[in-house]
Every structure is written in C-alpha cells, then in structure tokens.
Structure 1
Amino acid sequence: MSTTAKAFAALAADAPFEPFDFERRDPGPRDVAIDILFCGVCHSDLHTARGEWGGTLYPCVPGHEIVGRVRAIGSEVADLAVGDLAGVGCMVDSCRTCPACREGEEQYCEGAGFVGTYNAPDKHLGGHTFGGYSDHIVVDRDFVLRIGHDEKDLAAVAPLLCAGITTYSPLRHWKVGPDQKVGVVGLGGLGHMGVKIAAAMGADVYVFSTSPGKREDAKRLGAKDLIVSKDAEAMAGHVGSFDFILNTVAASHDLDAFLALLKRDGTMTLVGVPEDPHPSPNVANLIFRRRALAGSLIGGIRETQEMLDFCRDHGLVSDIEMIDAREIDAAYDRMVRSDVKYRFVIDMQSLKRPA
C-alpha cells in the first residue's frame, strides 16, 4: 500500500524544478509518517539536482533538512504520537550491524553505507529515495528526531538537521569548550551555525573570511572578531594561537595559512568537500607542532538528537530566508552567488497554493 506525495522535482540536470507526484509507502510497524512543514535547502541539494557530483537519479526530489508534524505511527512506535513535532536529516537507514552503526555513528556505516534521504536505493518500494521537497515522508523510527523547539521557530530549526549537526559534531568530538580559541573558516550556511554553536559551548570564536564587510554579522552571531584571511598581517598576528579551527569552505584553497595558526596539538577539521582537491599542505606545518588535519561527516542519529536538544536549550536556530517551492531554481542561482543569509527554507504549504 502507498500514498501519493506531492513534491517539486528536477527531471534532469539542466531542467528547472517542476511539480511531481510519487508514491510513499504506508507506515510499517516501526515507521513514522510526517507531514512536512518546512525543508531547508542545502548546497548538497544543488550539487545533486544539477548533476554536479555525478550519479544523480532522476527524477530528483532533494531535501534533507526536514521538520514537520507526525501524521501516523506504526504499531511498534511507542515514544512518538500523532501531532508531535519531528525531524529527518540526511539519513533514513543504515546496515545497523557494523561497528560504526552499533556505536551510533551511522553516517560512517561500514556495510553498504547509510541510506540517504534522497538519491539512494529505496529498499521498500524499489527505485530511489525522494527527499523533503515534498508534502510528507515515511521514515523508520530509528532515523526520526524529536523537535523540542517552540513551534514558532520550526522553519529556522530545519537547517539544524544538516548545517547544525555538520558543525556540532566536530566541535563536540574535539571537545571544544570554555577557555579555548576557536576559528571558523567561512561564514555561510555551515559557518554561521559553527559560530553560534562554538560560542554557546563557551569558546572564544573568530571568523575567517575574505569579506571584511561580514565583521559585524560575525559579531552578531557570537564571534569575538573577524579576521580577513587574505590580509597577511592580520593572519600573522594569530600564528600558533588557535586550539581548534572548523573549516566550512567547500572551495579548493590553501590550507597552510590556517594550519599555521594552530597551537601545538591543535586540529583543523574540514567539513566542506571541494570540487577540486585542496593543494597538498606542507607536512612540516603538521610535524613540528604535532598539529592535525581532520575531516568530519554530519553526525549519527544519537548525536543529532543531542545537537537539537543543545540548540533548544541555548536558544539556537539558523538565520533563514523563507521561499516558496516555485522559487527553488532562483534560490539555487542565489546560492551559487553566496547571496543568502544564511539558509533558504522552503515553506511546504506553498505546494498547496495555485501556481
């Protein structure tokens, strides 16, 4: 059995988004059906829909920053009820049995890899998964998150399901906290959440950007100051002083300029995947100060719930601009130009409005 979902889809890499109907499964015993109220727009959505990473399965319904209201639950779901607020992030399943999954790190699933919310094999109905640019979704309870924020903030909560956990996970893993000096490279959808979360953890946060005009915004978000990364003198004034640097930039760039700013035993973690590789860093920069260059991928379900609760307790949400579903292509074009502060969110009620 199934239900018809209404969505907006890209039918080809060079095609604009258009209305699209498809089938969602009826909830099984362990499933939760969610009426989607808002869905954030991630740069990964753009790369996938426009075929920039290869392997896109069309029709493509992106969206993995999903918040909404539970419409139905399976007979074995005891801890959620119809009417509850819930969220879905980047994953809807994993092998559940490998060491990573057993340790709550499903994003590193060592079986067949995690099942993406969109553009992944759909083991229930066949074909591939469709994401949150739609009116409802059905997901296994183990991959559904509880939303504890006030309902009035729900739209701004949506990007936490990707941008929030992508920045929270490395900050948590590398134990960022009070009395630490932390840098965030880039002030975009990821970076602005990195600043908010690191500041809430008690760190002294500095933003690195090529745009000096972002200084006041960086401070508003919780940073002590903004360092213009192309200003050699400004960068030199911070050499060897950072405990941790979160690098959110997804464009190829020189990593050495930032590695030199780390203290002995400091770490810089990359969360952005560039289209072209970064130039290889100078190994001496690492060896002579026992510095580390690392990477991090979203976060497991348990940690994502922890992040949502942390953000609720500290009053953190994303800075967003709401759009209609018919504005997705225009939003993508603006994202390419970095013309958004700091995350687009689709009002899924717009699916019901006449064109």
Structure 2
Amino acid sequence: MCAGITVYSPLRHFGIGPGMKVGIVGMGGLGHLAVKFAAALGAEVTVLSRGTSKKDDAFAFGADDFRSTSEPDTFVDRAGYFDIVICTVSAALNFDQLLSLVRFDGTFVNLGAPDGPVSIGMFSLMRTRIAFTSSSIGSIHETQEMLDFCVEHGVTSEIEQISADGINDALDTLRHHGSRKVPYRYVLDASTI
C-alpha cells in the first residue's frame, strides 16, 4: 500500500468527498487504488480507460461509471464534467482532449511519468482556468493517515504474489505487454529469496 500514497495524497489535498465528480485515467497499479480511495471518500467516480477490459473491475472497485477514451462520444458526453481528473498513465496522451473533461476552475493531476516531454495547448488551461498539477508522494504522517483510512474502509491493493524464481517472467510480461497483461500489482514473496 505505500505506493498508494501517490494517489491518496492528491485526493486528500484537493478535498475529494461527497458530491464531487472524479475522473480516473487508467486503472493499473495506481489507478485501481485511486478508484477505491475516491469511492471510499464518497465521490462520484468515473474510470476513463482506452479499452473496456477492466470495466467489470472498475465497478467492483467502486466506480459509478466507465468511459472508453477511444470513443469520441466520451469527450462530448463528459465535456467539462469533472471537478478533478487524476491521470495515472505513463504514456504519451492527448492532454488537451483529457483537459476538456475538467469543469471550469477544476483540477487535472498528472501522476504518470511519460518518457519524454508532453504537449499541452495553453488554451486548454486558459479557456476554463483549469489547474494542471502533479504529485509523486506524501509525507510519513499522510502515509499513516492513508493506512488508517485503508483499515477503516477496507481498501486493499489488488496483487499477484510471485516467488523469487518468477521475477524474470514478471519482468518479461511487463516488458512485452506493459500493464495490459499485468495484474494491478506484483508482490514478491520475500520468503522465497
């Protein structure tokens, strides 16, 4: 769970709670925890994902809606809809398109770390006074708060436990398939080292 602080911290910082509309871009290792945290905080949660393979999981984790970013209607139906969009994807994305989903004076939090520079048209921010920000970690105090929150709300990370002799296979899967074929988190069984 300490990896979860990356998504917990901005959710708490921006006061996410009942009545707020939260969009989560990507539902991998960070994204699935963002969905669980935002739902437990009482927000209306929508998963925004390229494909639909994790749709059932999204609802099981507490999402209220699921939209494919491959469908142009998503950007029409949800234009200016979200108070905050949290992006957990580390790939090159069309940020201008994603920013169109954020309401006036809303916030876009980018937690992904693409390999190179990203492009954002200034009018995507200026037109609706959107705050574009990022975050990577929280304090020790905030991490303890997150762990207490997890216990209180039953939030757990989805994992696949692997033994030490399975590390190369796990890395191979990551290298060749990215997050598409990977469970939400791999966890190494330290007793097998």
By the TM > 0.5 criterion, same fold? yes
TM-superposed CA distance for 1:296, in Å, is 0.4
| Aligned with residue 241 of structure 1, among 61, 66, 81 | 81
Give the counterpart of 2:173 among 304, 313, 334. 334
Question: Aligned letter for 1:350?
Answer: T
Is the Cα contact below 8 Å between 1:319 and 1:342 reproduced in 2?
yes
Q: Is the 8 A contact 2:28 2:184 kept in 1?
A: yes
**DSSP 3-state at the match of 1:328:** helix
Q: 1:189 maps to what in 2? A: 29
Specify the alignment match of 1:171 in structure 2: 11
Cα deviation for residue 287 of structure 1 reads 1.1
What aligned pairs does 1:276-355 form with structure 2 within 5 A after superposition? 276-278=116-118, 280-336=119-175, 337=177, 338=179, 339-351=181-193
- Structure 1 residue 276: Cα displacement: 1.8
The one of 196, 199, 221 aligned to 2:39: 199
The one-letter code of the counterpart of 2:57 is D
Query: CA shift at 1:217, angstroms?
Result: 1.1
Amino acid at match of 2:147: L
Report the TM-score when normalising by structure 1: 0.52
> C-alpha separation between the residues in 1 aligned to 2:167 and 2:10?
30
Aligned counterparts, 1:263-274, within 5 A: 263-274=103-114
Q: Deviations over 1:302-350 (max 9, x none)?
A: 1111111111110111011010012112112222312222101111111
Most deviating of 195-204 and 323-332 = 323-332
1:104-143 residue pairs with structure 2 within 5 A?
A: none
Corresponding residue number in structure 2 for 1:214: 54
1:283, distance to aligned residue in structure 2 (A): 1.0
Separation (CA, whole Å) in 1 of partners of 2:153 and 2:174: 28
Q: What SS class does the counterpart of residue 189 from structure 1 fall into?
A: coil
In 1, the alpha carbon distance for the partners of 2:25 and 2:45 equals: 11
Distance 1:171 1:177 in 2: 9
Contact persistence 1:228–1:235 (CA under 8 A): no
The CA deviation at 1:245 is 0.6
Indicate yes or no: 2:66 matched with 1:226. Answer: yes
The reply on whether 1:161 has 2:2 as its aligned counterpart is: yes
> What is the DSSP-based 3-state SS (H/G/I as helix, E as strand, rest coil) of the residue aligned with 2:141?
helix
User: What do residues 249-290 of structure 1 show as CA deviations (whole Å, max 9, x unaligned)?
Assistant: 001111011111111110010111111222x21211211211
Deviation at 1:230, TM superposition (A): 1.5
- Residue 213 of structure 1, CA deviation: 2.3
Identity of aligned residues (%): 45
Unaligned runs of 5+ in 1: 1-159
Once the two structures are superposed, residues 97-133 of structure 1 have per-residue CA deviations (whole angstroms, 9 ceiling, x without a partner) of: xxxxxxxxxxxxxxxxxxxxxxxxxxxxxxxxxxxxx
Kindly tell me the number of residue pairs found equivalent between the two proteins. Answer: 190
Which residues of structure 2 form unaligned runs of 5+? Answer: none
Larger relative contact order (Cα-Cα within 8 Å, sequence gap ≥ 6)? 2
Larger Rg: 1
**Residue 232 of structure 1: CA displacement?**
0.7
What is the one-letter code of the residue matched to 2:83?
D
Q: Which runs of 4+ in 1 moved over 2 A?
A: none
C-alpha contact (below 8 Å) 2:51/2:70 kept by paired residues: no
Q: Distance in 2 between matches of 1:214 and 1:319?
A: 13
Q: Deviations over 1:30-87 (max 9, x none)?
A: xxxxxxxxxxxxxxxxxxxxxxxxxxxxxxxxxxxxxxxxxxxxxxxxxxxxxxxxxx
Deviation at 1:182, TM superposition (A): 0.2
**TM-score (norm: length of structure 2):** 0.95
Contact 2:108 2:131 in 1 (8 A): yes
